[in-house]
Amino acid sequence: MFRLIPILLALILVVPACDDDPKGNNSNNVNNSNNVNNVNNEIEYQAIPGVRCTQDNLVGFVNVGSYDGGYSIEASVGIKDKPVIARAELSYSDAVCGYWEEVPPGFCEPACTGETSCDVTGTCVPWPAPVETLALELRAGEQTQTFEPQHAGQLEGTVILPGRSFAAKLTFEGLVVSLAETAVPEALTELSGVWHGGQGNPEGLDFAWALPADPAGASVYALIPINHHAASFTRTECVVDADALGFSVAEELLTPLAVITGLEFRGLEHVRFAAAVTPRGCIEFRWHVWHTVNWTYQK
């Protein structure tokens, strides 16, 4: 069955894409729960379109989307019972991208034991655990589809509803989080990438695409992790409005990632973000299309 790559990266605690603004400005992040309704005596937290969770409050993702090759639309969810332990901080950024560098854990004395880990402040904090109860309902017009978890804290499945616009209702641990009907973006057209330099010494990446038919509220996002052999939370993240028609990643944002066997670029997302803060933490929604890039190499 299809797996949505971004959520898998997130839920192994690499913590990609926690801040909408790569420069660390949280003006577009959800930091409070002021979008709350009481529906049928049930408190419902509404996701706010166009905003993201922060590194400190993220507990999970709801993904609905596909690959750019015309595959079926898939849904996947992964929720933890508390925010992940922050392991990286923004150390450099430009107008589009930010370089997040792993911060080593602090010194805990006595040493942490059991289900705890030493955070950057030197405090033993509990590891996040999968939630025990979880369900997702998608709605397209009058039709609905419900997904039940296959594993604690996780679910996935093929969307069989018509069209590309879906509202969502997520329930977990007695909480309800909703997203108003949102369209999964169409695949980008005329997408191109230019790779400057070699695999081990990248000098820059350039991307370009044609104007989408409906760019409103959509972004193009890239997560570029450090080489997996480094086993690190260090990464570069970039995000621009879909109508920007392109962006570039500078050499200084790439060189630290190209260790051991070189730079590992995994793809771009054409995405609409939304997020909601609950008493258990922030839930981020991503309605998106995942793109691979056909490169032109220039040395």
Tens-place pLDDT, residues 100-148: 999 888 899 999 988 898 888 899 989 899 998 999 999 999 999 999 9
pLDDT, average across residues 66-71: 86
- Mean per-residue pLDDT over the chain, rounded: 87
How far is Cα 197 from Cα 250, in angstroms, rounded to an integer? 12
pLDDT-derived band at 46 (thresholds 50, 70, 90) equals: very high
Compute CA distances 182 → 22, 178, 190, 295, whole Å. Answer: 24, 11, 24, 31
Task: Give yes or no for a contact between 231 and 285, defined as CB atoms under 8 angstroms apart.
Answer: no
Tokens in use for 140?
A: 């397209």
pLDDT-derived band at 77 (thresholds 50, 70, 90) equals: very high
Q: According to the model, what pLDDT value does residue 299 have?
A: 76
pLDDT-derived band at 29 (thresholds 50, 70, 90) equals: low
Q: According to the model, what pLDDT value does residue 119 have?
A: 86
User: Which pTM value belongs to this model?
Assistant: 0.87
In 3D space, the residue among 20, 54, 65 whose CA is nearest the CA of residue 283 turns out to be: 54
pLDDT-derived band at 21 (thresholds 50, 70, 90) equals: low
Tokens in use for 50?
A: 């166009």
Query: Which residue carries 């797996």 as its tokens?
Result: 3
Q: Parallel, antiparallel, or unpaired: how do β-strands 202-208 and 295-298 relate? A: unpaired
Amino acid at 177: V
Q: According to the model, what pLDDT value does residue 104 have?
A: 82
Task: Give yes or no for a contact between 49 and 292, defined as CB atoms under 8 angstroms apart.
Answer: no
Amino acid at 206: D
SS3 category, 149? coil
